[in-house]
Amino acid sequence: MSRYAEIIIDIAYNKLDRPFTYRVPERMQEVLQPGSLVMVPFGKGNVLRKGYVITLKDDCGMDPEKVKEIAELPVNDSGYSEDDDGATAIALAAWMKRRYGSTMAAALRTVLTSRKPGKPVKTREIELILSREEAQKQLEIYIRKHQVARERLLRELMEVPRQPYSLITGKLHITAPVIRAMSLAGVIKVTEEESFRNPVLFDKADEDRKELSEAQKAIVDGVLADFDAGKSTVSLIHGITGSGKTEVYISIIKGIVDRGRKAIMLIPEIALTYQTLLRFYRYFGERVSVMNSSLSDSEKADQWERARRGEIDVIIGPRSALFTPFAQLGVIVIDEEHEGSYKNESMPKYHTREVAEELARLKNACVVLGSATPSLESYYRAQDGTYRLYTLTERLTGGTLPTVEIADLRQELRNGNRSILSERLQQLLEDRLERGEQSILFLNRRGVAGFVSCRSCGSVIKCPHCDISLSLHKNNRLVCHYCGYEQPGVKECPECGSPYISGFRAGTEQIEEHLKIRYPGARVLRLDADTTSRKGSYDKILSSFANREADILVGTQMIVKGHDFPGVTLVGILLADMSLYAGDYRAAERTFQLLTQAAGRAGRGEVPGNVVIQTYQPENYAVQYASAQDYEGFYKEEMNYRSLLLYPPAAHMLCVQLQSDNEDRAESLAGRLRELFVRDDPEVLVIGPAKGSLTKIRDQYRYVIYIKDVNYDKLVRCKDRAEAFYAYLVKIGKDPQVQVQFDFDPVSPF
Ligand code: ADP
Ligand code: ZN
Ligand code: ZN
């Protein structure tokens, strides 16, 4: 029996980021564990604060008179009596604190989000109340009347007669009026129940299982063999969309579950489609659960509670599902592992893949990564043998790969075509409109950095020190967001002397306008941050397009993920250059991924598709390799560049981020930190300080310093030095009043 507990107070002050000792009251003796969430009196006023139990001990280690007592468990006491795995969670938090330079409290908050109390919730479901024959008749009526949405819902329910309301409206894009109408017509019934249950209710249906191909089977066998040998390996599956990766994940998870262990299946929220979920439900029935942002906090807590109690074997969800409290974790699968959303952008700025690896190590579990366009990080590790590499090269559904063409916008300008659409794209668009097929026009706008390019020769103004495109600021200065280099804006192209040099500004709205004027008969939909700001509008636009209620969909990268539109036979990428010059070192990689994925949107159905990539830089390697669908080629060339300039994964990079409402303070501290880093270790490469790519947000001025080195530990030392220096300034009464954060191997510019 432990009479004392060391507790980290859940508070943002660095100064308090150390354990405090408390007495454990009698009634909590049985239930407290490392990781337990408690309320404790804190400070002079004994205000009740949340805290996390780190260790339990018998020895007080200080004057017992001065020790306060834990006040309460915020949950009913039984909440933690199960076989919870708090000790691993704390080890993981400690690792994150060190690796990402956050406070222990912030790391614990992240890792232990799942320790919040669960309450029974209301689950709404939709149930088919017609018999098989009646349903079939009704279906024919809907088809005759072209009531597409009703037809779709009915078909779904004929397969699985009872499904959660939120799934139907969310992932299947069925609107509330449609549900109301069908319910009034006596086709379906909406039910409400209070329970701890899964948000999904399915029976297992074995008939859907596929015989795995040789290549698929080899992967499943390989991963399970490693697992059985007790090795905590990471495997990377490189396979184009439709090559059967998901089927492989399912079989691996099945193998792990058969061995009595649990599985975490991570999928980026935006790619977490209804169809994908359904495949898992068919396999694992109610032993699988889903976690996503459409669930309320208490619904989430419910799922975690079920995981803790061992009621489920598999959890599917985005980043945060990694922290599901499975005591018997056996595998973590990360689909679309290259996705930027796996990087957490608030403290601790962790990368899901790295945390997954550490968690797997602690649990002796294995990690499986999958992507059609693996991140350079992962592929690099696959090359050097740290990861196991598996490849899937064939599409199993038939469906031909699209024909990809590049339209040279410089040539268009020379031919006198100043429109946003190249000749070739216009031609194909008109052809699709005539044939009644659908098109997607994609503007890969990203971030705010406005690069400046020449419309005659395609060259882009770059930083002479970093080989990164300069960004145009409002005062007509061109700025590098890595090193701070600045120069005045230009009136003519330094390469060819053309006056057609400027920042590219056309947005989705202008393109929509342009299309409406040019093709008055066409039905155009737009999907971007503006049109989707209202809740539910994202799904509404996509469902209306999926229902063929429009001919052309114009949108940002939001449209390239997750959704299948079999009616789409043309994809136009309006300006590939847009993401090429986003002003950060991952721009080419991101462009390659976006182009490859956008291209994959065409020709999912029977009709082969066309893709047109418009660009001022047809010779750019990211554009070239994407149009040739050549990942290896791209990887080699991009790695050359990263090695040359010491960008990750060839080296590691630490971004020190400073923010203050007082610009001078931020700038001055940045300067002093730079000196400190350089003096401390003359071997690390210190770049900057520079203004952040967003120079000011909410009246906070932003500065960055980048530090590069092949040795990660050196960067950690720089971070420790910066923290110690800051603490010292505070101690001598010179608090810099600047917020300092650390981002290791950053994914997006600050
Ligand atoms: P990915 O996850 O790589 O996009 P999926 O696993 O979704 O690929 O597979 C793509 C399609 O191929 C799906 O419709 C799936 O049902 C089908 N499929 C996968 N494996 C097989 C197989 N071994 N035999 C037949 N069809 C398969
Ligand atoms: Zn030029
Ligand atoms: Zn620079």
Rounded Cα gap, residues 410 and 326, in angstroms: 56
- The pLDDT, as a whole number, for residue 205 is 55
Structure tokens of 515? 């299309």
Q: Look at the alpha carbons of 268, 271, 276, 278 in this order and tell me if their dihedral is positive or negative.
A: positive
Grade residue 109 by pLDDT with cuts at 50, 70 and 90: confident
Q: Ligand 1 pocket, 271 CB below 6 A?
A: no
Within 8 A by CB and 6+ apart from 599, the residues are: 402, 404, 571, 573, 611, 613, 626, 627, 629
Most ligand 1 atoms within 8 A of CB, residue of 396, 561, 564, 597 to mutate: 396
Percent of the chain with pLDDT over 70: 88
**How many C-beta neighbours within 10 Å does residue 247 have?**
19
Fold equal for 214-304+314-392 and 403-448+505-641 = yes
Query: Ligand 2 being an ion, which residues bring their Cβ within 5 A of it?
Result: 454, 456-457, 493, 495-496, 498
Q: By alpha-carbon position, which residue is closest to atom 20 of ligand 1?
A: 244
Are the beta carbons of 355 and 749 closer than 8 angstroms? no
3-state SS string over 153-207? HHHHHHHCCEEEHHHHHHCCCCCHHHHHHHHHCCCEEEEEEEECCCCCCCCCCHH
| Dihedrals phi, psi of 503, to nearest 5 degrees | -75, 140
- The pLDDT, as a whole number, for residue 81 is 35
What end-to-end distance do the CA atoms of the chain give, in Å? 49
Q: Which atom of ligand 1 is nearest to the CA of 372?
A: 3
Grade residue 125 by pLDDT with cuts at 50, 70 and 90: confident
- Which CATH number is correct for 403-448+505-641, 3.30.230.10, 3.30.70.1900, 3.40.50.720, 3.40.50.300? 3.40.50.300
Rounded Cα gap, residues 285 and 208, in angstroms: 13
Q: Ligand 1 pocket, 244 CB below 6 A?
A: yes
The CA-atom distances, in angstroms, between 749 and each of 93, 270, 586, 645, 703 are 25, 22, 9, 17, 11
The set of long-range contacts for 628-632, using a CB threshold of 8 Å and a minimum separation of 24, is 628/404, 629/240, 629/401, 629/404, 629/596, 629/599, 631/238, 631/373, 631/374, 631/596
Grade residue 391 by pLDDT with cuts at 50, 70 and 90: very high
The pLDDT of 606-633, averaged and rounded, is 90
- Which CATH number is correct for 3-111, 3.40.30.10, 3.10.20.30, 3.30.200.20, 3.40.1440.60? 3.40.1440.60
Q: Which of 551, 600, 243 is nearest to 402 (CA)?
A: 600
Q: Ligand 1 pocket, 243 CB below 6 A?
A: yes
Render pLDDT for 412-438 as a digit per residue (tens, 0 to 9). 988 988 788 999 999 999 999 999 999
**Locate tokens 């501290």: which residue?**
669
**What is the CATH architecture assignment of 652-744?**
2-Layer Sandwich (3.30)
Rounded Cα gap, residues 532 and 559, in angstroms: 12
Structure tokens of 616? 């001022």
Q: Which ligand number lies closest to the CA of residue 497?
A: 2
The set of long-range contacts for 301-304, using a CB threshold of 8 Å and a minimum separation of 24, is 301/114, 301/116, 301/117, 301/118, 301/119, 302/118, 302/119, 302/120, 302/121, 302/196, 303/198, 303/199, 304/114, 304/115, 304/116, 304/118
Render pLDDT for 646-703 as a digit per residue (tens, 0 to 9). 999 999 999 999 999 999 999 999 999 999 999 999 899 999 899 887 776 667 889 9
Q: Ligand 1 pocket, 155 CB below 6 A?
A: no
The burial of 458, by beta-carbon neighbours within 10 Å (0-12 exposed, 13-18 middle, 19 or more buried), is given as buried
Residues facing 25 on adjacent strands: none
- The pLDDT, as a whole number, for residue 338 is 95
Rounded Cα gap, residues 96 and 81, in angstroms: 26
Q: How many CA atoms lie within 13 A of 385 on its CB side?
A: 0
Q: Hey, is 486 helix, strand or coil? A: strand
The CATH T-level fold of domain 214-304+314-392 is: Rossmann fold (3.40.50)
Q: Ligand 1 pocket, 692 CB below 6 A?
A: no
Q: By alpha-carbon position, which residue is closest to atom 5 of ligand 1?
A: 244
Q: Ligand 1 pocket, 242 CB below 6 A?
A: yes
Q: Ligand 1 pocket, 209 CB below 6 A?
A: no
The CA-atom distances, in angstroms, between 664 and each of 31, 97, 694 are 52, 30, 17
Q: Ligand 1 pocket, 371 CB below 6 A?
A: no
**Locate tokens 């610009």: which residue?**
663
Q: By alpha-carbon position, which residue is closest to atom 9 of ligand 1?
A: 244
- The pLDDT, as a whole number, for residue 85 is 66
The pLDDT of 126-142, averaged and rounded, is 89
Q: Which ligand number lies closest to the CA of residue 278?
A: 1
pLDDT for 225 beyond 90:
yes
Render pLDDT for 240-297 as a digit per residue (tens, 0 to 9). 877 899 999 999 999 999 999 999 999 988 777 777 888 888 888 888 988 877 777 7
Q: Which ligand number lies closest to the CA of residue 749?
A: 3
Q: Ligand 1 pocket, 246 CB below 6 A?
A: yes
Rounded Cα gap, residues 39 and 45, in angstroms: 14
Expressed in angstroms and rounded, the spacing between residue 597 Cα and the centre of ligand 3 is 30
**Locate tokens 């061992």: which residue?**
310
Q: Ligand 1 pocket, 216 CB below 6 A?
A: yes
Q: Which of 749, 750, 746 is nearest to 351 (CA)?
A: 746
Q: Which atom of ligand 1 is nearest to the CA of 247?
A: 6
Expressed in angstroms and rounded, the spacing between residue 411 Cα and the centre of ligand 2 is 13
Expressed in angstroms and rounded, the spacing between residue 490 Cα and the centre of ligand 2 is 11
Structure tokens of 321? 């599902």
Are the beta carbons of 238 and 391 closer than 8 angstroms? yes
Within 8 A by CB and 6+ apart from 261, the residues are: 328, 329, 330, 331, 365
Q: Which of 704, 706, 547 is nearest to 147 (CA)?
A: 547
pLDDT for 466 beyond 80:
no
Helices and strands, counts by H and E, the chain: 22, 30
Q: By alpha-carbon position, which residue is closest to atom 10 of ligand 1?
A: 242
Q: Which atom of ligand 1 is nearest to the CA of 216?
A: 23
The pLDDT of 230-237, averaged and rounded, is 95
Expressed in angstroms and rounded, the spacing between residue 663 Cα and the centre of ligand 3 is 21
pLDDT for 77 beyond 50:
no
Render pLDDT for 340-370 as a digit per residue (tens, 0 to 9). 899 998 889 999 999 999 999 999 999 999 9
User: What average pLDDT is seen over the chain?
Assistant: 85
Q: Ligand 1 pocket, 251 CB below 6 A?
A: no
Q: Ligand 1 pocket, 239 CB below 6 A?
A: yes
Q: Hey, is 698 helix, strand or coil? A: coil
- The pLDDT, as a whole number, for residue 689 is 94
Expressed in angstroms and rounded, the spacing between residue 308 Cα and the centre of ligand 3 is 49
Render pLDDT for 5-35 as a digit per residue (tens, 0 to 9). 888 887 766 667 788 899 998 888 877 877 7
3-state SS string over 52-117? EEEEEECCCCCCHHHCEECCECCCCHHHHCCCCCHHHHHHHHHHHHHHHCCCHHHHHHHHCHHHCC
Domain ranges of the chain: 3-111, 121-195, 214-304+314-392, 403-448+505-641, 652-744
Q: Which atom of ligand 1 is nearest to the CA of 396?
A: 12
**How many C-beta neighbours within 10 Å does residue 503 have?**
13
Q: Ligand 1 pocket, 397 CB below 6 A?
A: yes
Q: Which ligand number lies closest to the CA of residue 457?
A: 2
Rounded Cα gap, residues 658 and 48, in angstroms: 32
Expressed in angstroms and rounded, the spacing between residue 467 Cα and the centre of ligand 3 is 7
Q: Ligand 1 pocket, 210 CB below 6 A?
A: yes
Q: Hey, is 669 helix, strand or coil? A: helix
Expressed in angstroms and rounded, the spacing between residue 166 Cα and the centre of ligand 2 is 53
Render pLDDT for 148-207 as a digit per residue (tens, 0 to 9). 889 988 988 888 788 878 777 776 778 888 888 898 888 998 887 654 445 454 555 555
The CA-atom distances, in angstroms, between 618 and each of 328, 577, 613 are 51, 9, 9
Expressed in angstroms and rounded, the spacing between residue 653 Cα and the centre of ligand 3 is 15
DSSP 122-143: EEEEEEE-S-HHHHHHHHHHHH
Expressed in angstroms and rounded, the spacing between residue 246 Cα and the centre of ligand 1 is 7
Side chain identity, residue 701: Y
Q: Hey, is 149 helix, strand or coil? A: helix
Expressed in angstroms and rounded, the spacing between residue 606 Cα and the centre of ligand 3 is 48
